[in-house]
């Protein structure tokens, strides 16, 4: 019954592990990926079919057929065949090579190796992996398909993945297998016997959602996204893991997210098509006129001339109408040069040339990565000059995704700036001398710091500086990895944290290793063991995290880092002066667009701590309001802090991003940022890119959770912008009436607004009834940032603008999560030179740096557009001039469709030498008129001697000259009047340039884009909760012989730890919707699911509060 | 690009720094300022007007005389005779008298002209076989199907030259006579050298045969003459054996079809070696003896004789000088308008200000 059922539409997926026969009953896709269109046999028919679907090609095919009829044809059929065949051939070759490369890349992916369990482990190509197979993945390998995690090398079936290709986030994510399956371990026989059946949702494109159930040994286990490894992820920090394939090949979530490749056309293409249609209509009109003329002429004159034309008596004498009919077709053939096939060829050739200019441009070549720009699609160049909307990814596109510890303020002294001998601040460039960390064998070579006074302070053993870095080395949730002695790699949950710990490492406080209850530092070369008593983890409300440690001397200290406002509230009053200085420094840092963080510590008394720990233990066992209880306890101990200083981390933007954005904004191009990242990080980048500024009138943040809320927020934002009362009535009315009015009004809004919208709100806002409001509001704002969006939503946003605004859109991104939007936009740009290639492969243009966008759009786009338009102008002009001669001549030659000029060579010139240079023209002319050619084809080239004899006539040259003058002068006059009376911006600039050139070189004053921002403490926002528990539980520690002895759950060395590990399990289960009891009824699953939903809702509500507070503050 | 790729090294893919690839080739895009445009306009106007004036003077110094002989003078009877197709084989001679008031100085060209004869109809123009004319034996016996229906004569022999064009060849002949006080004398005309060199030597060739001793008549054996012809092609010029066959100059001139229905074709050039024609045609009375064969009454056509001298840029043609003068004046007008507009609105460059 299943088979019958599944042939219709898959509504539920049944997969049984290690049971091919069962799984093959269903039409599930295998892991073979095919993106190419043709194969060897289908290429010719399919490609030809596609090509003849183009109007031009079909038109010329019809012409060709007409020309084969001798009664009609006045031109030899060769004149159409040769160009048509050429066009078809060129296109076919291009299509074939494109497809071949697609085939190659498919092949490459398909033949990657993976280990499949078939009784024992076998190496198999990716394409041979089937749904239901159990496969083994190894560290740093790409995940083969969408698989259900069964077991891994890490304890508790944990497994780390990087999802950069999927959503652009580079921090590690944790996945955990079900306990029952993680017990299978690496035991091949057990795994081979595993016969669980997964029943789950059908293939879809939701990357963050998965629902299913595992049936095994008569039990049911709920499955969610936390147990899935999706294709496109990379396994990190995990030796190996086993998984069962659930979705394969084209049905994986990654592939489902890849929008369909559409054939992209430029607006000039469309214009050209309309023009061609009009011209064709005109052609038909002329044909009709000439045909009528022929009928009349035959009636009146031709009849008597028949003495010399003996044949076709019936036509001549009886049926002049039929003669007219034939003439009509003849003239269609003769005048076809008005709609020249060479137009399309020439346009393609010009575009190809432009593409080469883009490839050749040194100013778009990135020397560090040896990456030149590449025009992957050659047909869109002139569209580049028309872009109105840019949709940009954030991570890897605007930013380098590198966090750099840039400055700090310790004990009231600011470090990080470099001063010259006169005490002036020096601009830090590539050449500025770096601090030498060679004293420290464990330092990270890539780390650069320019202010040597900080190192001197360390070497002077200033206690505050030491404590500052000690805090950085202790208070975090980073996991160290030391493959070889001294070769430390930090796996940080957020790049900020990694940057801070790396800074401490270089300044001599090396975080070396950790166990659940200890942290080992190498302080200036000596190993120091700290006992980790508690981690007071980060969350969005607290905006801070703390650790409580006992140092070898037995002193207990609490180290805290967090948002400055939060920390300042909890300081001991004695810090007042220091707080003021630090605050000043913080303003300075924030003004430079750095992410700041305040650091503080507190000495704890043993007894106080012990008492607090007990209460903590109690609080964590309470079932009701546990979160609040814990938060209160944390709050209690994090008071009376002593301020240490502040850090400033730079989320390194790519070079020249703010300048580029400023420049593109000047060009009236709207830039929207679409990112999978968090709201706060996105906003921070917005500020550092100068897209958001403090002097903006209002920053609207849409973070509603229901359609109504979102609608309400959007409309109030719109009302605010337009002024009250303008937005009234229902949505439907607006759609029709107000829209046009608004778009006029749009221009007049001087105030600057920004709109920031969250992923789940966006999902509502993109629904049909709200999308118009969204679009209108968004278009009224200077800056639009969408965060936490899925790849599909990115594409939807692009689509929304594309269809409703009639504007040319451009999407730029670097990761696989940007592929769909790159494909949807009119123009897709990929950032190349990085690891992932998906974005580049899907893109139309690729280069290494965001800033090259400026040159691509404003230089290449503009030039291409200009040149293309000029070309079209002259092309049509030329063809009209050339063809209308035949029309004129028709009145003299009895409308007999005789050509007045020999056009053979002209066709050739058109096709081969587009720009029709005179030299080529005459060369061909003489060649065609040469003796040799004539003697070979006397009847095809009867023009021998014509050129020679005509061009020696002086009157011919006089006529040519007169014609030239007559043609040039009116145009020149019009253009002169235009520039003189209504100069364009370009003309103004040029006249300015000329004037300034006359005045001589003047000093250029380059204005630096100065960022002003009072936003701070972005770190706190970019962090996620949950890692603290993971660390103290020891769950994520590798079970090595040395650490295995004090097994986390068995050795309660401190009271806090016991509580922690227990609360963790409960906490985790709560968050992940999995109850410790393995067997769960469907109802139970449902409720836990909703509770999960609730917590998430709460959290986001808080988010929005926080952010709106922030907005109010700014 | 390809070369760059072959290089290994860290900067292997760096584009070449050539002026072309970096689009730094010198370019000239003039600013259309009043200082450059207005002088250019005035300059062009002057050039055109001067050129036009010069051409006009030149044209005034050329002479052209057209004599329509369709039914002028004694040709009236011939015209009537030619109305009836049955009289086609009877010869008819007539004379037309005219007077030259001013002497035709320099080279004088003698043309025959046809009015309303459509040599430019497509079917008519297509109806010829250039392969035959170039002397290909294959085409001589097997003319191209384009010649239909003038491809075989009534005996079934292939026609040489085939097609409607050759068939309708103009076959009047003229003798120009000068009547002076000293008596009447025939004006000597060069009847050769009236074609393009390429036509005479490349485009039209008599059939090539192995045996060089064969006469032209033998070469053309097995072919028929065009239906309307009175003589076969190898017998067109009875006075000059070498001016027969496809390379007969009258045939060549005719075969170069005129583009318009009213046209003139060269018949001969005055031979100035003989007195009193060394300086050209003297003023006085002339008559043309015409062998009147070509019928034009079917298509309401007319025939004429044209005598003309040529200037350095061609025959008497008023179009070019007039066109130049008109263009020059228009440009001048435009220049004045532009100056006025510029003076009134754009002079101080205030439009250029931001």
Structure tokens at A828: 């897709």
How far is it, in rounded angstroms, from Cα A207 to Cα A169? Answer: 13
Query: How big is the A-B interface in CB pairs under 8 Å?
Result: 205
How far is it, in rounded angstroms, from Cα A509 to Cα A503? Answer: 9
Q: Name the one residue in this structure whose structure tokens are 């369709």.
A: B70
The strand pair at A556-562 and A234-236 is best described as unpaired
Contact A900, B257 (CB under 8 A): no
Element housing A673 (H / E): strand A670-674
First-to-last C-alpha distance (Å) of chain A: 63
β-partners of residue A13 are A200
**Chain B residues touching A305 at Cβ < 8 A:** 118, 121, 298-299
Contact A610, A677 (CB under 8 A): no
Structure tokens at A609: 């701590």
Q: Name the one residue in this structure whose structure tokens are 């009134």.
A: B344
- Residue from the list B21, B44, B131 with its beta carbon closest to the beta carbon of A969: B44
Asked if A370 and B203 come within 8 Å (Cβ–Cβ), the reply is no
Q: What is the pLDDT of residue A312?
A: 55
Side-by-side strand order, sheet with A197-200: A13-16, A197-200, A212-216, A219-223
Element housing B109 (H / E): strand B108-115
Go through chain A and tell me how many residues it has: 1114
Catalytic site residues of A?
A: 393
- Residue from the list A362, A889, A982 with its beta carbon closest to the beta carbon of B351: A982
How far is it, in rounded angstroms, from Cα A927 to Cα A942? Answer: 12
How far is it, in rounded angstroms, from Cα B138 to Cα B146? Answer: 15
Structure tokens at A645: 């200083």
How far is it, in rounded angstroms, from Cα A241 to Cα A235? Answer: 9
Asked if B202 and A894 come within 8 Å (Cβ–Cβ), the reply is no
Average pLDDT in the B295-319 region?
A: 86
DSSP string, A969-1012: HHHHHHHHHHHHHS--HHHHHHHHHHHHHHH------PPPPPP-
Q: What is the pLDDT of residue A260?
A: 56
How far is it, in rounded angstroms, from Cα A661 to Cα A693? Answer: 13
This model of the complex carries an ipTM of: 0.78
Q: Name the one residue in this structure whose structure tokens are 């009138």.
A: A697
Is pLDDT larger for residue A1030 or for residue B314? Answer: B314
Q: What is the pLDDT of residue A139?
A: 85
Cα four-point dihedral sign A739, A740, A746, A748: negative
Contact A393, A675 (CB under 8 A): yes
Asked if A949 and B198 come within 8 Å (Cβ–Cβ), the reply is yes
- Residue from the list A308, A362, A934 with its beta carbon closest to the beta carbon of B15: A362
Go through chain B and tell me how many residues it has: 354
Structure tokens at B332: 């001048």
* Residue of B312, B352, B353 for testing the chain A interface, max A β-carbons within 10 Å: B352
Asked if B197 and A945 come within 8 Å (Cβ–Cβ), the reply is yes
Give pLDDT tens digits for A53-85: 777 778 778 888 888 887 777 666 776 777 778
Q: Which residues contact A265 (CB under 8 A, 6 or more apart)?
A: A379
Per-block mean pLDDT, blocks of 10 residues, chain A (1114 long): 46 84 84 80 87 78 83 71 80 84 84 84 85 87 88 82 70 80 82 86 80 86 86 84 88 73 71 82 91 86 72 58 85 79 74 87 87 84 88 85 85 84 73 78 81 85 88 86 76 80 89 84 87 82 86 89 85 88 85 81 89 86 78 87 88 86 88 83 82 83 86 87 54 42 49 84 86 87 86 87 88 83 88 74 87 89 85 82 84 80 58 53 58 61 69 81 86 84 78 73 46 48 60 60 39 39 39 35 35 37 36 34
Q: What is the pLDDT of residue A342?
A: 66
Among all residues of chain A, which has the CA nearest to that of B15?
Answer: A360
Asked if B121 and A367 come within 8 Å (Cβ–Cβ), the reply is no
The answer, yes or no, to whether the previous bond of A720 is cis (omega within 30 of 0) is no
Contact A179, A1078 (CB under 8 A): yes
Q: What is the DSSP letter of B223?
A: -
Report how far apart, in Å, the C-alpha atoms of A1031 and of each of A493, A510, A526 are.
12, 18, 24
Rg (CA), chain B: 30
Q: Is the pLDDT of residue B158 over 80?
A: yes
Q: Which residues contact B123 (CB under 8 A, 6 or more apart)?
A: A309, A311, A312, A896, B164
Among all residues of chain B, which has the CA nearest to that of A969?
Answer: B331
Q: What is the DSSP letter of A432?
A: S
Element housing A664 (H / E): helix A657-666
Asked if B31 and A990 come within 8 Å (Cβ–Cβ), the reply is yes
A595 carries a ligand binding annotation: yes
How far is it, in rounded angstroms, from Cα A700 to Cα A683? Answer: 12
A171 carries a ligand binding annotation: no
Give B 142-181 residues with CB within 8 A of chain A: 144, 146, 148-150, 164, 167-168
Asked if A991 and B349 come within 8 Å (Cβ–Cβ), the reply is yes
Helices then strands, counting H and E runs in chain A, come out as: 43, 35
**Chain A residues touching B137 at Cβ < 8 A:** none
Report how far apart, in Å, the C-alpha atoms of A590 and of each of A302, A315, A395, A1018, B210 are.
91, 91, 20, 10, 102
Contact A651, A688 (CB under 8 A): yes
Structure tokens at A31: 């892991």
How far is it, in rounded angstroms, from Cα A263 to Cα A390? Answer: 20
How far is it, in rounded angstroms, from Cα A875 to Cα A877? Answer: 5
Closest CA to A723 of A754, A740, A702, A748: A748
β-partners of residue B177 are B186, B287
**Chain B residues touching A863 at Cβ < 8 A:** 23
Report how far apart, in Å, the C-alpha atoms of A69 and of each of A881, A942, B135 are.
27, 21, 28
How far is it, in rounded angstroms, from Cα A500 to Cα A473? Answer: 8
Contact A26, A6 (CB under 8 A): yes
**The dihedral formed by the CA atoms of A539, A545, A550 and A553, expressed in degrees to the nearest 10:** 180
Please, what is the Cα angle at A821 between A815 and A826, to 5 degrees? 125
Asked if A944 and B341 come within 8 Å (Cβ–Cβ), the reply is no
Q: Is the pLDDT of residue B136 over 80?
A: yes
Q: What is the pLDDT of residue A894?
A: 80
Cα four-point dihedral sign A1098, A1104, A1105, A1110: positive
Helix axes A43-53, A78-110, angle to 10 degrees: 120
Please give the model's pTM, rounded to 2 decimal places. Answer: 0.69
How far is it, in rounded angstroms, from Cα A634 to Cα A615? Answer: 11
Give B 75-114 residues with CB within 8 A of chain A: none
Element housing A757 (H / E): strand A753-757
Sequence-ordered alpha helix ranges (H) in A852-903: 852-855, 862-890
Give B 115-144 residues with CB within 8 A of chain A: 116, 118, 120-125, 127, 129-131, 133-134, 136, 144
SS3 A922: helix
Q: What is the pLDDT of residue A340?
A: 66
Question: Percent of chain B at pLDDT above 90?
Answer: 31
Q: What is the DSSP letter of B159?
A: B
Closest CA to A966 of B164, B329, B39, B91: B329
Q: How confident is the model at residue B304 (pLDDT cuts 50, 70, 90)?
A: very high
Contact B122, A893 (CB under 8 A): yes
Report how far apart, in Å, the C-alpha atoms of B343 and of each of A616, B337, B349, B353 are.
91, 10, 10, 17
Rg (CA), chain A: 37
**Chain B residues touching A987 at Cβ < 8 A:** 31, 352
Q: What is the pLDDT of residue B176?
A: 93
* Side-chain-facing half-sphere of A909: CA atoms under 13 Å: 23
**Chain B residues touching A938 at Cβ < 8 A:** 130-131, 133-134, 136, 203
The answer, yes or no, to whether the previous bond of B149 is cis (omega within 30 of 0) is yes
Q: Which residues contact A691 (CB under 8 A, 6 or more apart)?
A: A661, A671, A673, A754, A782, A783, A785
Contact A168, A394 (CB under 8 A): yes
Closest CA to A824 of A852, A797, A851: A797
A193 carries a ligand binding annotation: no
* Residue of A70, A302, A305 for testing the chain B interface, max B β-carbons within 10 Å: A305
Give pLDDT tens digits for B7-32: 556 778 888 888 888 887 777 777 77
Closest CA to A831 of A657, A686, A683: A657
Element housing A57 (H / E): helix A55-67
Q: What is the DSSP letter of A400?
A: E
Give pLDDT tens digits for A1067-1090: 433 433 333 333 333 333 333 333
Side-by-side strand order, sheet with A413-415: A413-415, A399-410, A642-653, A595-604, A556-562, A544-550, A526-536, A518-523, A509-514
How far is it, in rounded angstroms, from Cα A144 to Cα A233? Answer: 9
A814 carries a ligand binding annotation: yes
* Residue of A324, A360, A954, A957 for testing the chain B interface, max B β-carbons within 10 Å: A360
């Amino acid at each position: 019954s299943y088979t019958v059922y599944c042939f219709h539409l898959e509504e539920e997926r049944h997969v049984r592990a290690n049971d091919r026969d069962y799984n093959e009953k269903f039409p599930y896709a295998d892991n073979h990926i095919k993106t190419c269109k043709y194969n060897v046999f289908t290429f010719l028919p399919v490609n030809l079919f596609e090509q003849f679907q183009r109007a031009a090609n079909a038109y010329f095919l019809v012409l060709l057929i007409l020309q084969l009829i001798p009664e009609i044809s006045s031109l030899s059929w060769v004149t159409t065949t040769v160009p048509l065949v050429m066009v078809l051939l060129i296109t076919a070759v291009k299509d074939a090579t494109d497809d071949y490369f697609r085939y190659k890349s498919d092949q490459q992916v398909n033949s990657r190796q993976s280990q499949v369990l078939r009784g024992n482990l076998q190496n198999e190509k990716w394409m041979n992996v089937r749904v239901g197979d159990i496969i083994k993945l190894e560290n740093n390998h790409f995940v083969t398909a969408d698989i259900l995690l069964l077991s891994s090398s890490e304890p508790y079936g944990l497994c780390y993945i990087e999802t950069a290709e999927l959503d652009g986030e580079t921090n590690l994510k944790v996945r955990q297998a079900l306990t029952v399956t993680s017990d299978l371990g690496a035991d091949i026989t057990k795994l081979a016997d595993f016969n669980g059946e997964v029943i789950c949702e059908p293939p879809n494109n939701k990357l963050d959602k998965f629902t299913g159930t595992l049936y095994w040994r008569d039990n049911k286990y709920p499955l969610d996204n936390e147990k899935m490894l999706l294709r496109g992820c990379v396994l990190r920090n995990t030796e190996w893991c086993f998984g069962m394939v659930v979705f394969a090949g084209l049905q994986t979530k990654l592939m489902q997210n890849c929008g369909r490749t559409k054939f992209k056309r430029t607006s000039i293409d469309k214009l050209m098509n309309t023009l061609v249609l009009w011209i064709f209509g005109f052609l038909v009109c002329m044909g009709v006129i000439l045909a009528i003329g022929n009928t009349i002429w035959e009636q009146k004159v031709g009849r008597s001339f028949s003495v010399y034309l003996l044949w076709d008596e019936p036509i001549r004498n009886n049926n002049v109408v039929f003669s007219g009919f034939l003439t009509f077709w003849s003239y269609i053939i003769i005048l076809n040069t008005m709609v020249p096939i060479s137009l399309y060829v020439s346009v393609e050739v010009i575009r190809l040339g432009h593409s080469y200019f883009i490839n050749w441009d040194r100013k778009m070549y990135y020397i560090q990565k040896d990456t030149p720009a590449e025009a992957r699609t050659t047909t869109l160049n002139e569209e580049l000059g028309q872009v109105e909307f840019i949709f940009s990814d954030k991570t890897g596109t605007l930013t380098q995704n590198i966090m750099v510890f840039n400055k700090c303020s310790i004990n009231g002294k600011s470090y990080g700036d470099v001063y010259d001998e006169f005490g002036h601040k020096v601009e830090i460039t590539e050449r500025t001398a770096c601090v030498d960390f060679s004293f420290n064998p464990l330092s990270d070579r890539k780390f650069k710091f320019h202010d040597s006074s900080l190192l001197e302070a360390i070497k002077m053993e200033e206690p505050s500086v030491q404590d500052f870095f000690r805090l950085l080395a202790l208070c975090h949730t980073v996991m160290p990895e030391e493959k070889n002695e001294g070769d430390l790699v930090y796996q940080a949950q957020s790049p900020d944290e990694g940057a801070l710990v790396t800074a401490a490492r270089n300044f001599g406080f090396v975080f070396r290793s950790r166990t659940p209850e200890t942290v080992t530092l190498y302080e200036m070369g000596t190993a120091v063991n700290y006992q980790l008593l508690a981690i007071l983890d980060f969350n969005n409300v607290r905006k801070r995290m703390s650790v409580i440690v006992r140092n070898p001397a037995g002193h207990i200290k609490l180290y805290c880092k967090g948002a400055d406002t939060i920390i300042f509230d909890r300081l001991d009053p004695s810090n007042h002066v220091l707080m003021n200085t630090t605050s000043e420094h913080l303003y300075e840092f924030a003004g430079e667009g750095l992410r700041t963080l305040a650091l503080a510590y507190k000495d704890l008394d043993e007894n106080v701590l012990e008492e607090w720990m007990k209460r903590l233990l109690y609080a964590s066992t309470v079932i009701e309001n546990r979160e609040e209880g814990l938060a209160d306890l944390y709050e209690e101990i994090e008071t009376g802090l002593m301020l240490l200083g502040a850090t400033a981390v730079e989320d390194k933007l790519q070079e020249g991003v703010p300048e580029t954005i400023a420049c593109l904004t000047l060009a009236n191009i709207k830039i929207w940022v679409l990112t999978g990242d968090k709201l706060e990080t996105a906003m921070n980048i917005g500020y550092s890119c100068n897209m958001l500024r403090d002097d903006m009138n209002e920053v609207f943040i849409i973070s509603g959770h229901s359609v109504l809320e979102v609608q309400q927020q959007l409309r109030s934002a719109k009302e605010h912008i337009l002024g009250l009362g303008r937005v009234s009535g229902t949505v439907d009315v607006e759609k029709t009436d107000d829209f046009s009015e608004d778009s006029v009004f749009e221009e007049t809004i001087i105030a600057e607004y920004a709109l920031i919208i969250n992923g789940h709100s966006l999902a509502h806002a993109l629904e049909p009834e709200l999308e118009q409001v969204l679009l209108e509001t968004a278009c009224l704002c200077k800056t639009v940032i969408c965060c936490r969006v899925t790849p599909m939503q990115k594409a939807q946003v692009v689509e929304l603008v594309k269809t409703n605004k009639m504007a040319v859109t451009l999407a730029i991104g670097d990761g696989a999560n940007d592929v769909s939007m790159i494909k949807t936009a009119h123009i897709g740009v990929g950032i190349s030179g990085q690891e992932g290639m998906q974005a580049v492969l899907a893109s139309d243009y690729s280069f290494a740096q965001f800033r090259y966008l400026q040159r691509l759009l404003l230089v290449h786009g503009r030039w291409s557009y200009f040149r293309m338009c000029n070309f079209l102008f002259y092309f049509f002009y030329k063809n009209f001039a050339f063809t209308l001669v035949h029309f004129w001549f028709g009145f003299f030659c009895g409308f007999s469709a005789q050509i007045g000029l020999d056009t053979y060579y002209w066709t050739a010139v058109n096709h081969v030498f587009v720009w029709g240079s005179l030299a080529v023209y005459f060369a061909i002319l003489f060649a065609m008129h040469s003796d040799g050619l004539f003697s070979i084809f006397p009847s095809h080239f009867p023009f021998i001697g014509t050129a020679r004899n005509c061009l020696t006539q002086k009157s011919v040259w006089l006529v040519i000259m007169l014609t030239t003058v007559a043609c040039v002068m009116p145009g020149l006059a019009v253009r002169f009047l235009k520039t003189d009376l209504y100069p364009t911006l370009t003309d103004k600039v040029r006249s300015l340039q000329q004037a300034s050139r006359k005045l001589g070189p003047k000093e250029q004053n380059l204005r630096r884009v100065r960022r002003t921002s009072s936003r701070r403490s972005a770190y706190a926002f970019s962090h996620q909760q949950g890692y603290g528990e993971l660390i103290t539980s020891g769950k994520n520690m590798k079970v090595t012989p040395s650490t295995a002895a004090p097994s986390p759950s068995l050795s309660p060395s401190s009271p806090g730890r016991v509580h922690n590990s227990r609360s963790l399990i409960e906490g985790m289960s709560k968050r992940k919707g999995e109850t410790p009891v393995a067997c769960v009824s469907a109802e139970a699953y449902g409720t836990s699911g909703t509770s999960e939903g609730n917590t998430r809702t709460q959290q986001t509500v808080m988010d929005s509060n926080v952010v709106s507070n922030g907005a109010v503050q700014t | 690009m390809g070369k760059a790729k072959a290089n290994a090294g860290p900067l292997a893919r760096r584009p070449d720094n050539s002026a072309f690839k970096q689009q730094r080739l010198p370019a000239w895009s003039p600013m259309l300022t009043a200082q450059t445009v207005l002088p250019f306009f005035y300059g062009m106007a002057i050039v055109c007007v001067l050129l036009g004036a010069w051409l006009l003077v030149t044209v005034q110094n050329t002479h052209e005389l057209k004599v329509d002989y369709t039914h002028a003078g004694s040709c009236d009877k011939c015209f009537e005779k030619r109305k009836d197709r049955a009289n086609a084989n009877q010869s008819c001679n007539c004379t037309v008298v005219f007077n030259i008031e001013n002497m035709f100085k320099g080279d004088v060209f003698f043309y025959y002209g046809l009015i309303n004869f459509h040599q430019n109809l497509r079917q008519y123009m297509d109806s010829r076989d250039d392969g035959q004319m170039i002397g290909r034996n294959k085409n001589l016996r097997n003319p191209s199907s384009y010649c239909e229906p003038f491809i075989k004569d009534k005996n079934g022999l292939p026609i040489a030259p085939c097609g409607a064009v050759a068939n309708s060849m103009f076959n009047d002949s003229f003798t120009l006579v000068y009547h002076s006080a000293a008596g009447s004398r025939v004006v000597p005309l060069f009847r050769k050298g009236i074609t393009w060199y390429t036509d005479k030597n490349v485009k039209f060739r008599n059939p090539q045969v192995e045996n060089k001793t064969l006469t032209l008549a033998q070469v053309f054996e097995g072919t028929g003459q065009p239906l309307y012809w009175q003589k076969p092609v190898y017998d067109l010029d009875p006075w000059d054996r070498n001016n027969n066959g496809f390379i007969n100059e009258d045939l060549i001139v005719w075969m170069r079809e005129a583009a318009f229905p009213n046209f003139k074709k060269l018949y001969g050039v005055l031979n100035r070696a003989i007195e009193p024609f060394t300086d050209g045609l003297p003023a006085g009375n002339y008559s043309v003896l015409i062998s009147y064969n070509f019928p034009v009454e079917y298509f309401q056509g007319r025939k004429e004789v044209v005598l003309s001298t040529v200037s350095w840029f061609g025959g008497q043609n008023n179009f070019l000088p007039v066109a130049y003068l008109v263009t020059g004046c228009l440009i001048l007008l435009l220049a004045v308008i532009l100056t006025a507009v510029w003076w009134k609105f754009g002079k101080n460059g205030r439009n250029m200000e931001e």
